[in-house]
Chain A
């Protein structure tokens, strides 16, 4: 079998049902086989789009996402998408073409040392130098990508290897001396954890993306319910525990709810599950959960004691460890604690003011119409935080967002990938006017592949989150964050609509929707939101709703970077 055929065969064997990518000189042999293979291949308009789409597909389905790019610039265009997947532990296999083996290192046309470039942002990577090794390497790549703590694996295949033949078969199993993920938590540690939980007066569960990755949401919900422990989640943990549940505290950290942050600062036992104590969660580490003992459950031993000291570490798969923990636990007397939390919830609900169309209002209405049954992807910035705060996630794999890397331009291609993986689902990309422009070319891919993603552009005429930081911490000097009317010298720039509170700047997103073959509507009043959303939901087309929102609106509460979770800014007043 030829190298390119082995690759397609590996997709079949690994049950890959869709591949995202972009052709080029060094992958022509692979694309020639794809042409005849019947494989569902989605041609994106940029390799970064392919990587994010594979990522969105993986997060939404739990399967491994696959993307293909050519050597050199094709491969380097994948880098941001690979880094995004790496930071958020997304299973992905990225295939890149490479110049022929005899040319490697010669600065050949479209050559880049992509295994060198992606070494710090992949779980593992391979440069295939011998055709006989290709079947084993591909098997290992898929195995490494979606076992243990998942992550992206890159396989760089030189052009001559794609064309060379081998009799070696695609193996059924892998044997690697250095890679043996441990799924079972140590039973004694779990028993100790159970005792500590039952002895706690004010326990809090802090759930991260690991709960979703391990499909442990059901166990988490059972544990919280059985023991009566409130649950706060990280950004990527949204959906791991139903936010409609009485025990839900919503998100914690920089833009978490005040009651979640107060609970964490007051807790005597923090049970971290599949979370890694990111700085956006902890704020000032030395003042994070100051009265708490810490139990940390994670499949990755390097996550433990990386940022905070841990009293009981349990290394293992979250789902399995939680199931074992449930068996060892009885109902705890947390009533006084839950009462205190209920008081905080009443006193400090998430809220927003009036005046103009508020982005939070738009997101609340999306929830009202979908009842939490949609997949929400976000871009990065204020749009992302509002989407995290004001939509209620009740199911895992319904909130897809670039958490660790914070990649603007993630949302649209990720939504496209999610829609390809979940054709029956309603998929929304909640975007800002800044972020959406970073990968807007993928509108074409959505339209041509009949992926009816709904894109909500919260247009505030600026790079909102950066502007918010400038407002709060840089004396309102809005250096390069205002996208609307001002030109480079502060004079009036190019405008296209002055009436109706439009933020008049280029591009005109609605004309753009039309140019790409999508549909679009611009709204600026509360009363227009529901009709526009209904129309978008009913449409089988890719659809943009551009919401001209209050440009002054900020994300609150906010813990300034480096401050402790008690030091929340709650409004501009």
Chain B
């Protein structure tokens, strides 16, 4: 099962390695990991998406909580939360296809942030299914480059 885990941690060097180590020591591949400061510059939020056995992940969350630099851990599995991911995508275009790409961008409420004769760069945010969908739609035109931030998430309410 896929788990989205959010951890509030001290904003210090080495913390990321400690956290990632707890997953890698159990042979889990982290699907995505996004880190950034919170409203308190001394605290960062890490959003980790990982697939694994529920019981083992419960243990990993407990282990995360045990780390001295970790302030709070939430596993969003089965809970109400919102999540977003940002992608930057450079797609091949020419005079014939430009309009079609623009239409897709509009439908997905994405943005064009750079345009050249042979390419457009698009910024899109959304849940991973929306992000996957826009990538799928643009694939036939030829994706030249793609960057994903990984998911960030926060509990509702």
Residues of A at the B interface (CB closer than 8 Å) are 115-116, 119-120, 123-124, 127, 144, 176-179, 300-302, 305-306
Contacts and interface: CB of A to CB of B under 8 A. Distances in A.
Interface residues of B, number: 20
A177 B59 contact: no
Contact of A301 (B9, B13, B17, B62): B62
Contact of B14 (A115, A178, A302): A115
B63 interface: yes
B75 to A, nearest CB: 14
Contacts of B36: none
Residue in B14, B65, B68 with the greatest tally of chain A CB atoms within 10 Å: B68
Interface string B8-28: 011001100110010001000
Contacts of A124: 67-69
A285 to B, nearest CB: 12
Contacts of B63: 302
Nearest to A124: B68
A179 B68 CA distance: 5
B68 A176 contact: yes
Contacts of A144: 68
Contact of B69 (A178, A300, A302): A178
Contacts of A178: 9-10, 67-71
Contacts of A127: 13-14
B66 interface: yes
Nearest to B17: A119
Given A115-B14, A301-B62, A177 B71 contact: yes
Contact of A177 (B10, B55, B65): B10
The 6 tightest CB contacts between A and B, nearest first, are A302-B62, A124-B68, A179-B68, A178-B71, A177-B71, A178-B70
B74 to A, nearest CB: 14
B17 A120 contact: no
Given A127-B14, A302-B59, 7 more contacts: A119-B17, A119-B18, A124-B69, A177-B10, A178-B10, A179-B68, A302-B63
A177 B58 CA distance: 22
A65 B25 CA distance: 28
A305 B63 CA distance: 12
Interface of B: 9-10, 13-14, 17-18, 21, 25, 55, 58-59, 62-63, 65-71
5 contacts: A115-B14, A116-B14, A119-B17, A301-B65, A305-B55
Nearest to B66: A302
A120 B59 contact: no
Contacts of A306: 59
B21 A119 contact: yes
B50 to A, nearest CB: 17
Contact of B66 (A115, A116, A300): A300
Contacts of B25: 120
Given A177-B10, A178-B10, A302-B59, A123 B68 contact: yes
A178 B68 CA distance: 5
Residue in A144, A176, A177, A300 with the greatest tally of chain B CB atoms within 10 Å: A177
A302 B22 CA distance: 13
Contacts of B55: 305
Contacts of B14: 115-116, 119, 127
Contacts of B66: 300-302
A136 to B, nearest CB: 13
Contacts of A179: 68
Contacts of B10: 177-178
Contacts of B58: 305
Contacts of A119: 14, 17-18, 21
A312 B66 CA distance: 21
A305 B10 CA distance: 28
A127 B25 CA distance: 22
A112 to B, nearest CB: 15
B112 to A, nearest CB: 41
Nearest to A116: B17
Nearest to B24: A120
A76 to B, nearest CB: 18
Contacts of B65: 301
A26 B9 CA distance: 32
Contact of B21 (A120, A176, A300): A120
Contacts of B9: 178
A175 to B, nearest CB: 12
A301 B25 CA distance: 19
A384 B92 CA distance: 70
Nearest to B59: A306
Nearest to A309: B55
A305 B60 CA distance: 12
A440 to B, nearest CB: 33
A124 B10 CA distance: 13
Nearest to B22: A120
Residue in B17, B59, B66 with the greatest tally of chain A CB atoms within 10 Å: B66
Contacts of A116: 14, 17
A300 B65 CA distance: 11
A116 B20 CA distance: 12
Contacts of B17: 116, 119
Contacts of A176: 68
Nearest to B62: A302
Nearest to B72: A178
Nearest to B43: A177
A120 to B, nearest CB: 6
A551 B59 CA distance: 44
Contacts of B21: 119-120
A305 B18 CA distance: 23
A124 B21 CA distance: 13
Nearest to B63: A302
